[in-house]
Amino acid sequence: MERKTLQKLEQITHKDPPSSDQTDGGSFVIQSATVLANNPIAATLHPRSCAFPLHGHDYMELMYVCDGHIVHNISGRQVDVHKGGLLILNKFVTHSVKSADPDDIGINLILPDAFLTTIQDVSDDSTLARFVADNMKHDGAPQYLLFDIGNIYPIRNLLDNIIYSVVADEKRDFPLLPKAVSLLFDYLSVYPETLVESDYATDREAAFRNAVGNYIQTE
């Protein structure tokens, strides 16, 4: 990313955590309808000047760290997302985010179910495709995926384009954002080695081991 873009991101005034009119009563679940403003998806700058309390959201959230690092607490597990890290949280996750320093810069992408239905055909057998499909369920489990895309130029380039739209507030680029994010999912699927941490695969492996154990005991 160009240094001048980072400098502009550093200058942008950061907002406070969501107010009560963006959440679902006292449960502190952020509602996509109040964030999207009739757009299919949204890209926002993560507020770094204050901690985010424990919360959930009715949409899938992606956070890309442009510089520094940002620390999440997900179901009691600390997940430290460093520069070049892309964290994907499904809509069943509740998490909190620690206060960040001035040079810790993250971009959030808000992806509602209506948008995700348009990318469900991405590499059907990939972990990411299964993750997206499970997110669409009504009673899914909280799951996250953490990618390190720092050395993958095509993915970095896509994210730079998305970030530029946020920084420049380039209205004519907004209709292209959904296409860019859809392409981002395609690239993540064909670069599986970028997946560096997950509680999704672990849960699937645990379920498989349990099934094998039960079969051995009964048969």
Is pLDDT at 26 greater than 60 in this prediction?
no
Asked if pLDDT for residue 25 goes beyond 50, the answer is no
CA distance 93 to 38: 24
Distance of alpha carbon 198 from alpha carbon 79, whole angstroms = 10
What's the pLDDT band for 216 if we cut at 50, 70, 90?
low
Residue 45 pLDDT > 90, yes or no? Answer: no
What is the sign, positive or negative, of the torsion defined by CA atoms of 207, 208, 212, 213? negative
pLDDT, the chain, mean: 80
Stretch (H or E) spanning 184: helix 177-190
What's the pTM value of the predicted model, to 2 decimals? 0.81
Output the pLDDT for position 64.
Answer: 95
Q: For the residues 191-199, what does the mean pLDDT come to?
A: 90
Q: What is the pLDDT of residues 95-153, one digit of tens each?
A: 999 998 888 888 899 999 999 988 765 545 678 888 998 999 888 889 999 999 989 99
Helix then strand then coil, % of the chain, to nearest 5: 40, 25, 30
**Confidence (pLDDT) at 20:** 46
The string of DSSP codes covering 101-130 is: -TT-EEEEEEE-HHHHTTSTTTTTTSHHHH
- pLDDT (tens digit per residue) in 81-90: 999 999 999 9
C-beta of residue 89 within 8 angstroms of C-beta of residue 114: no
